[in-house]
Amino acid sequence: MSAALDSSILIAALIDAERHHVECGELLDQPSTHIYAHALSEVYSILTGGRLGFRLSAEIAIRLLEQSVLPNVEVITLSARELIAGLNEAPGRGVRGAAIYDYLHLVAARKAKASRIYTLNASNFQSFHRAGDPEVSLPVRQDG
């Protein structure tokens, strides 16, 4: 089973104090894991911007992405045509404003043929999710 992760999962996997750190770290360690390329800039923005109540230096944020994320995922990019196709599809799904960023994670997950997209913000995805899209899932602890 291949899965896609959005930036909320990556942040929780990288930050020990995050509530779902363990579960998200387990997802990041799974084979056949994909992320949309834009997630890298979202994670950088969150880690360096202070939204979490602290700021990491750019150097540390980049090191985390290079050493803890990139070795574990396949990065999915959208060509200009694929991006425009997603934008054309968005209004019919009720996607407006900043919701486009979550929607493009879903478009990239479809391109990767992921069966699931994991997020900590499932309600953001449910409004535009349709039959045939990857299942939107919250991380679940894998006690083994």
Q: What is the pLDDT of residues 21-54, one digit of tens each?
A: 999 999 999 999 999 999 999 999 999 997 778 8
pLDDT of 144:
47
Does the pLDDT of residue 61 top 70, yes or no?
Answer: yes
CATH number for the domain spanning 66: value is 3.40.50.1010
pLDDT of 1:
80
Residue 72: inside a domain, yes or no? yes
Range of the domain at 37: 3-134
Residue 142: inside a domain, yes or no? no
DSSP labels, 45-96: HHHHHSTTSS---HHHHHHHIIIIIGGG-EEE---HHHHHHHHHHGGGGT--
Residue 39: inside a domain, yes or no? yes
Residue 140: inside a domain, yes or no? no
Closest to 121 (Cα-Cα) out of 96, 101, 91: 101
Does the pLDDT of residue 143 top 60, yes or no?
Answer: no
Q: What is the pLDDT of residues 80-115, one digit of tens each?
A: 999 999 999 999 999 999 999 999 999 999 999 999
pLDDT of 52:
79
Q: How many domains does the chain have?
A: 1
Residue 18: inside a domain, yes or no? yes
